[in-house]
Amino acid sequence: MPDLVHRSHDIGRVVSRIALAAVFVSGGRHVWQHPEGPAQGAQTFLKRCRRAVPVLDHFSDEQLVRINAAVHVTAGIGLGTGLAPAASAAALAGSLVPTTLAAFPFWTQPEGPQRTHQQGDFLKNLALAGGLLSVVAQAKRRP
């Protein structure tokens, strides 16, 4: 019986990793192919980032968005396939911070449907980050 429980936990971890990975691979692929909209949405955020990190001036908004998309696809594949899942999850969690701040700054919106929508998407990304950090923590516990 303990062996069955152990196997079901392993299956649960694999399914969870694949589900998380699918979000990033699919979204990253879409952003890679169509960076214009996300780049426009990130414009204000990237302007502030450039003041803090001048080396970003060497890249256009679309290039920075595509770099982030490449991280999502690459680390998503690593997470989904189980190749370095902790490192992949950590990379995704790290890239999710600027993505979320750039795409869903609900606190800058007036009360209304746009703010509510952005707040919901912000919270979804927060939940994804929690799932990714769970993968990292799980890897630290396993021998």
Per-residue pLDDT of the chain (143 residues), as tens digits, is 566 656 667 888 899 999 999 999 999 999 999 999 999 999 999 999 999 999 999 999 999 999 999 999 999 999 999 999 999 999 999 999 999 999 999 999 999 999 999 999 999 999 999 999 999 998 877 55
What's the whole-model pTM score? 0.88
Distance CA 53, CA 49 (A): 6
**Confidence (pLDDT) at 142:** 59
Q: How far is CA 72 from CA 24, 48, 99, in A?
A: 5, 22, 10
Two tokens, residue 49: 């980032």
Distance CA 60, CA 12 (A): 41
Distance CA 119, CA 142 (A): 35
Q: Specify the residue for token string 């993968």.
A: 135
